[in-house]
Amino acid sequence: MLKFYIYISLLLIIIILLFKCFYLDLYSPKKVKTIALITILVMGLRYAALLILFLVSNIKYLYLLKPLFFMNLIGVPLIILIVLYIFMKGHIINFSCIFIALGISIILYVSIMLKCTCFLQNSSNIGYTMIFAQDTYIYWVYIGINTITLFLAISFINKTYINRIGMSIVILASIATIIEYIVWIAGIVLIAENIIGDMLWIIALIYALNRVKKKA
């Protein structure tokens, strides 16, 4: 029962955080606003799917949520690029590269959705979740992205032009995501779905948007 309350509490917190992101994005510079809005919508669709999987008991049409359920595979890498761009103040990452990464991510994501089979899994008292049981390399690629981000953040955190608080959040989010997925792959399920890393990345995005927002 404790897992039930922890999971629903985290879901609600993340949904509130996404609304906060949306509000802050209204005051973001034009350059950041569009890509941040796309990212917020992508993550919003994922959490709409998670909420439906939590609330609905009839399994009949739940598989149709597959394209939405795994959208953190696009959303989190986009958050990483946005926050690194902001925290590094334009050094290293060219903003146009984020849109190129978005295009590549969409193509790869559509390919994964078409080629890879996922399975619905019932998590006792916490609704359903989805897993790529036969394509675990997808999770390892995701772990790899977070690992690269972790080392990049550690390498640059002491540079004079870096926002150190922001980069510290990036390090924390990367570590949490890596641990969360490795533990899950090892068969240790703490809660129904891996959402703690998502939450920390969304917090990183909130902090980043706060740093660049224009006064109302």
C-alpha–C-alpha distance, residues 67 and 81, integer Å: 22
State mean pLDDT over 76-82.
96
* Chain segment 153-167, per-residue pLDDT in tens: 999 998 888 999 999
CB 112 within 8 A of CB 138: yes
Q: Supply the pTM of this predicted model.
A: 0.93
pLDDT higher than threshold 80 for residue 213 = yes
Residue 27, token pair as written in the block: 């005051």
Interior/surface letters 164-183, b for 16+ CB within 10 angstroms, e for the rest: eebbebbbbbbbbbbebbee
* Chain segment 176-198, per-residue pLDDT in tens: 999 999 998 888 877 878 999 99
Whole-number percent of the chain with pLDDT over 90: 62
The residues facing 206 across adjacent strands are none
* Chain segment 14-69, per-residue pLDDT in tens: 999 999 999 999 999 988 999 999 999 999 999 999 999 988 877 788 888 999 99
Dihedral of CA atoms 85, 14, 175, 190 in degrees, nearest 10, equals: -160
Banded pLDDT at 135 (limits 50, 70, 90):
confident
- Identify the pLDDT of residue 59: 79
- Domain positions in the chain are 2-212
C-alpha–C-alpha distance, residues 199 and 9, integer Å: 12
Sequence-ordered alpha helix ranges (H) in the chain:
2-25, 30-55, 66-69, 72-87, 95-115, 137-156, 164-185, 196-212
Banded pLDDT at 142 (limits 50, 70, 90):
very high
Phi, psi of 37 (to 5 degrees): -65, -45
